[in-house]
Structure 1
């Protein structure tokens, strides 16, 4: 039987995971490139799910993937996959927000809702974790196999790690709720009052 304290801990974890997903989508830091020249100048390029920012470009940030990148044969495959990553990351954020609504309904519904509502929240958190693991896996696959990242200096960056930690947090919250539902004893029910006639 899951208790308010267990739900509250899972809710806090879910809020943190949701914030991490949204931050990873917003920040252009999924894949980054940095190189320092012999003169000591550092050039950087950061690629996000929708934008690419570079110290060489003017303006510094522009939409990604670029139209010219998507015209070629292999570039078209990369663009499709990268857009899929962006779509799935947005889907994970929406699912996380739906999970937070589920938490609110269950926590405001009393003991019965807490006893019977945990499978929905566990399912939602598990689904978010699966979607996020697919997102970070596709991004890592593209990083390892696409020609544009073969030049030394490219690396997976902060947003990719945020997505990974967020997925792990969702999975841990789901596991904690499921385990507590089976292992914790039921909450205290009604307390019986002593019969004054028996005294």
Structure 2
């Protein structure tokens, strides 16, 4: 019995195309939420906060600003006077977190562009684009995880953060963001290895 290569049916091609498009589109929506959380963690000045009820008082550190309820203003942080003597280490680490989070946004922006290119491209991009896309997303997640870890380390080891200080909502935004990013990357990798190809050829027997 002989076999011949023939193109697969159009219905199977369409199913493969539709499935992969759904995966890319759905993870893109989730990834946009992750990007929004990353930007929020940078903008909202609440990585570390101190709350006091008596007297009522609130103080918080953001990546680039610190805020006090006593003055009702937020000022740039860290400033030059915050980086002297023993505070140099804290200042350097805090600025590193700010740089890493900005770099994470750049990586996520590149991931977003890659998403759009893959979705607007043809079969070849849908079949292989997940490799670059998942790599960029994982890198952004690693950078954010490093930022989160540095802040948690400073919270545990810096004397300025005594009883009453806590990791606040911006830190949570960052943590949720990189977890969601890893979910998106995992979904793309799983789909690439488990879903059928969009098209190609298959063997059929020749009964002649």
Using structure 1 for the length normalisation, give the TM-score.
Answer: 0.88
1:61 counterpart residue number: 74
Question: How is 1:120-139 mapped onto 2 (pairs within 5 angstroms)?
Answer: 120-139=132-151
Match of 1:105 in 2: 117
Kindly indicate whether structure 1 or structure 2 has the higher relative contact order, using CA contacts under 8 Å at least 6 residues apart: 2
2:61 aligns with 47
The one of 25, 34, 39 aligned to 1:8: 25
Deviation string, structure 1 residues 53-98 (Cα, Å, up to 9, x no partner): 00123x611111233221122x100000000000000000111011
**2:108 aligned to which of 93, 96, 100:** 96
Matches of 1:126 and 1:156, distance apart in 2: 24
RMSD (Å) for aligned C-alpha atoms = 1.5
In structure 2, the residue corresponding to 1:49 is in which secondary structure? coil
CA–CA separation in structure 1 for the residues paired with 2:58 and 2:69: 6
Structure with higher Rg: it is 2
In the other structure, the counterpart of 1:186 is 197
The separation in 1 between residues aligned to 2:79 and 2:69, in whole angstroms, is: 17
The superposition leaves residues 147-169 of structure 1 with CA deviations (integer Å, 9 ceiling, x where unpaired) of 1002x210000000000000001
Partner of 2:181: 170
Listed as ranges, the gaps of 5+ residues in structure 2 are 1-15, 202-208
- TM-score for both structures, normalised by structure 2: 0.85
Asked whether 1:155 is paired with 2:166, we answer yes
Greater per-residue strand proportion: 2
Q: Which residue does 1:29 correspond to in 2?
A: 46
Report runs of 4+ in structure 1 exceeding 3 Å deviation: none
Q: Does 1:115 align with 2:127?
A: yes
**SS at the partner of 2:160?**
helix
